[in-house]
Amino acid sequence: MTEPAIVLVWENFGPIHSDRCDAVAKLIGKQRKVFGLELASSSAMYEWRSESGAEYQKQTLFHNNSIDKVPLFKKAWKLLRACWSHRPADFFFCHYEEPFIFLTAVVLRLTGSRVFIMNDSKYDDYPRNLAREIVKSIFYRPYNGAIASGTRAADYFRFLGMPESRILLNYDTLSTDRIRRSAGIAKAPGGTPFEARHFTIVSRMVPKKNISMALKAYAIYHAQASRPRQLHLCGSGPLETPLRAEVAALGLEKFVLFHGFLQIEDVCPILGRTLALLLPSTQEQFGNVVIEAQAMGLPVILSENCGARDLLVRSGVNGFVIEPDNPAGLAYFMGLIDQDENLWRRMSEATEKFSTLGDASLFAAAVATLAGSRPANSLPLIAMPKSSAD
């Protein structure tokens, strides 16, 4: 009997999604076919190019269109037909909140397929409403199991009624090897000399990314540093013009560089020349850029709101955790890393063991476990690296 296929469904395939599909295919592709099902060839939120990997087969439902522009019935019908054509299969969905995803999952489950959900939402992302959470729990009912990004995301799955035994971690992952190849430079603490490095933010320019606070922190750091390092901003969005005006008002035009939106292969060389990544978001389900930074050996200064801190950052070990409304705290840690090369090198070296937790191979292992292609007890999915003080 043919083993069921694995079908992974996302709205739009950026590099991170392609990395995950490739990793699944590398792990179990000899036993089971692996398909990536892309709802639309473009995204209303992200500007990345739609990608296809080398190890899996990709299918796009709507070309030259974002999924938001497609009528509900058309989305539901085309998705169900595409999924049906791959049966027998185990299906892994994102975007649980979309009615057409919910309807497709219900039909597949009622007709004998196993369906799983992938998500990185946390309870503390924003204020919750009880009635809305009750409705949301209904939207999770069709699923046989879940892959969460971190411990807070797993807790939220449990809050919404998913049994703990059916929740695995390591949803938000990517190919760390690809990041290192794209950078074209040795990862820290090698490569670019300590004194030639700068600070970097990689982010959409929207309110929740809290870039204005980071600029205030940078202004404090700049006023205190004898030889302040530059701040590089990679990203675009509706706040780009106000942020440029804020930089000008602070008199920092020569020190803050706006790169605009860059594809990941263009971001990687910038990370290769970076001292530390800054991610001060007020709301951040995860923060995949943390994985990219750690792949290049970088310490990270991020807010406590970021889901990535659950698995990837230990304050004082491989980075620092701040409050998102504390520019003085962010400035202090920027100055600390700027002035102390031994501290920076120690943190950079400590990042190595954490970077493995962001690799797509762990996502593949979670998929294989839920799909029954790998024993659950063979995977250290929740194990955390220990600091030298533990």
- pLDDT score of 103 more than 90: yes
CA-CA-CA-CA dihedral for 180, 183, 185, 187, to nearest 10? -50
Does pLDDT of 173 surpass 60? yes
Where residue 374 falls among pLDDT bands split at 50, 70, 90? low
- pLDDT tens-digit readout, 258-268: 999 999 999 99
Mean pLDDT of 162-171: 96
37-51, 110-124, 147-161, 367-381: which range is least confident on average? 367-381
Structure tokens at 205: 């320019």
In the chain, the largest separation of any two C-alpha atoms, in whole Å, equals 70
The enclosing H or E element of 85 equals: helix 72-85
- pLDDT tens digits for 25-59? 999 988 999 999 999 887 766 776 777 777 899 99
Q: Of 56-70, 180-194, 289-303, 345-359, which gets the smallest average pLDDT?
A: 56-70
Q: Who wins on pLDDT, 1 or 78? A: 78
- Asked if the bond preceding 189 is cis, omega within 30° of 0, the reply is yes
Q: Measured in Å, how far apart are the chain's first and last C-alpha atoms?
A: 49
Which residues 6+ apart lie within 8 Å of 375 measured at CB? 369
CB 41 within 8 Å of CB 63: yes
83: Cβ–Cβ under 8 A, 6 or more apart, which residues? 7, 9, 37, 89, 91, 104, 108, 113
* Average pLDDT over every residue of 79-86: 96
Q: What is the mean pLDDT of the chain?
A: 92
C-beta separation of 50 from 56 below 8 A: no
CA distance 185 to 188: 9
- pLDDT at 377 (0 to 100): 41
What is the DSSP annotation of 263-290?
A: -HHHHHHHHHTEEEEEE--SSBS--THH
Q: What span, in angstroms and rounded, lies between the C-alpha atoms of 278 and 199?
A: 7
| Segment 178-224, tens digit of pLDDT | 999 999 999 999 999 999 999 999 999 999 999 999 999 999 999 99
Give pLDDT tens digits for 293-307: 999 999 999 999 999
- The first and second tokens of residue 131, run together, are 């009635």
Which residues contact residue 252 at a Cβ distance below 8 angstroms, ignoring those fewer than 6 apart?
215, 218, 219, 222, 231
pLDDT the model gives residue 267: 96
Tell me the average pLDDT across 46-75.
82
CB 127 within 8 A of CB 150: no
Kindly state the percentage of the chain with pLDDT values over 90: 85
Dist. CA 29–CA 26, nearest whole Å: 6
- Average pLDDT rounded to a whole number, residues 162-174: 96
Q: Which band of pLDDT confidence, cut at 50, 70 and 90, is reported for residue 64?
A: confident
Contact 115, 93 (CB under 8 A): yes
pLDDT of residue 186: 96
For range 160-175, the mean pLDDT: 96
What is the mean pLDDT of the segment spanning 172-177?
Answer: 96
Burial of 262 (0-12, 13-18, 19+ CB in 10 A): middle
User: Which amino acid is present at 61?
Assistant: L
Q: Give me the pLDDT at residue 45, please.
A: 67
Q: Please state whether 39 falls in left (phi above 0), alpha (psi between -120 and 50) or beta.
A: alpha
- The predicted structure's pLDDT at residue 54: 79
Closest to 203 (Cα-Cα) out of 250, 237, 247: 237
Residue 379 has a pLDDT of: 40
Least confident of 16-20, 329-333, 374-378, 383-387: 383-387
Rounded to whole angstroms, the Cα distance separating 194 from 319 reads 16
pLDDT at 311: 95
Question: What is the pLDDT at residue 373?
Answer: 66
Say what percent of the chain tops pLDDT 70.
Answer: 94
SS3 track for 208-226: HHCHHHHHHHHHHHHHHCC
Q: Is 370 helix (H, G, I), strand (E, B) or coil?
A: helix
Q: Could you give all domains of the chain from N- to C-terminal order, each with its CATH number?
A: 5-175+359-378 (3.40.50.2000), 176-355 (3.40.50.2000)
Name the residue with tokens 């879940």.
Answer: 146
Single pTM value for the model = 0.92
Q: Tell me the per-residue pLDDT of 89-101, one tens digit each, with 9 for 90 and over.
A: 999 999 999 999 9
